[in-house]
Amino acid sequence: ILNVEQSPQSLHVQEGDSTNFTCSFPSSNFYALHWYRWETAKSPEALFVMTLNGDEKKKGRISATLNTKEGYSYLYIKGSQPEDSATYLCALNNAGNMLTFGGGTRLMVKP
Amino acid sequence: ETGVTQTPRHLVMGMTNKKSLKCEQHLGHNAMYWYKQSAKKPLELMFVYNFKEQTENNSVPSRFSPECPNSSHLFLHLHTLQPEDSALYLCASSPGRADTQYFGPGTRLTVL
């Protein structure tokens, strides 16, 4: 059983603050690391798929980095907005098409 | 919208009932998945289908029975469920193995 850990479990920030959270995973047999954004009552939405050590991806104010040797990925949000409020999930792919998800970080941005 | 639809969105059933969850994708994807999310637990993979063939069964009890009649449709047949099976059931699809997965909105299941 793979252990994918996300921290913190929840986070409250003020509008305009920048924030980041962590996904930790076993570094052996790494294939890809996925980040998803999941708003309440909606479908999880893919943000990034990262495969190479040192990868950095960006989508608007959201960016992510990957360190496969030490087994972690960071997700950054610059200038948080209320519409960024969601649960952010990471998922490890280390064999075929099975994803192992972390427990998520629930972000709440106060106006 | 992700292009993956699920029906029904909410389902309440008794332990002796038989019901089915339906998932449909019009993305031309070859892989489809069922996931379960129980309260305060991570998303948990249940089944994987590639080109209509089941390739993964993540130790799921036999009271859950998947069916994939074609690459666009996936069903989860439910019978004699237990109250602890109450959860959100999500369907997803992907172009192939290890690709980004696109999720449906889920079915919220309550077993009385």
A99 with B45: Cβ contact below 8 A: yes
Peptide bond into B61 cis (omega under 30): no
- A3-30: string of b/e by CB count within 10 Å (b at 16+)? ebebeeeebebeeeeebebebbbeeeeb
Cβ-contact A23, A4 below 8 angstroms: yes
Q: Quote the percentage of chain A above a pLDDT of 90.
A: 85
> How many angstroms separate the CA of residue A41 from the nearest CA in chain B?
7
**Mutation for A interface: B57, B89, B100, B108, most A CBs within 10 A:** B100
Q: What is the mean pLDDT of chain B?
A: 92
Who's near B27: CB < 8 A, 6+ residues apart?
Answer: B3, B4, B93, B95, B102
pLDDT band at B53; cut points 50, 70, 90: confident
Q: What angle do CA B58, A66, A11 make, to 5 degrees?
A: 80
CA distance A99 to A105: 17
The pLDDT score that the predictor gives to residue B19 is 95
Is B56 within 8 Å of A98 when comparing Cβ atoms?
yes
Asked which of A26-35, A46-55, B81-90, B103-112 is least confident by mean pLDDT, the reply is A26-35
Distances (CA, A) of B110 to B72, B78, B90, B92: 26, 12, 14, 21
Q: Give tens-digit pLDDT for A3-49.
A: 899 999 999 999 999 999 999 999 887 889 999 999 988 999 999 99
Residue A27 pLDDT: 85
CB contact under 8 A, B31 and A97: yes
Contact (Cβ atoms closer than 8 angstroms) between residue B63 and residue B46: no
- Does residue B59 surpass a pLDDT of 90? no
Residue of B nearest to A94 (CA): B98
Q: Chain A interface, mutation test: which of B34, B101, B107, most A Cβ atoms within 10 Å? A: B101
pLDDT score of A96:
67
Share of chain A above pLDDT 70, in %: 97
Instruction: List C-alpha distances in Å: B37 to A91, B74, B80.
Output: 14, 18, 19
Mean of the per-residue pLDDT values for chain A? 93
pLDDT higher than threshold 70 for residue B21 = yes
Which of the four pLDDT bands, split at 50, 70 and 90, describes residue B56? confident
Structure confidence at residue B40 as a pLDDT band (50, 70, 90): confident
Inter-chain touch B105–A32, beta carbons under 8 Å: no
Yes or no, beta carbons of B98 and A42 under 8 Å apart: no
User: Is A34–B101 a contact, with Cβ atoms under 8 angstroms apart?
Assistant: yes
Q: Is B101 on the interface with A (CB under 8 A)?
A: yes
Task: Write down the pLDDT at residue B1.
Answer: 65
Predicted pLDDT at A30: 85
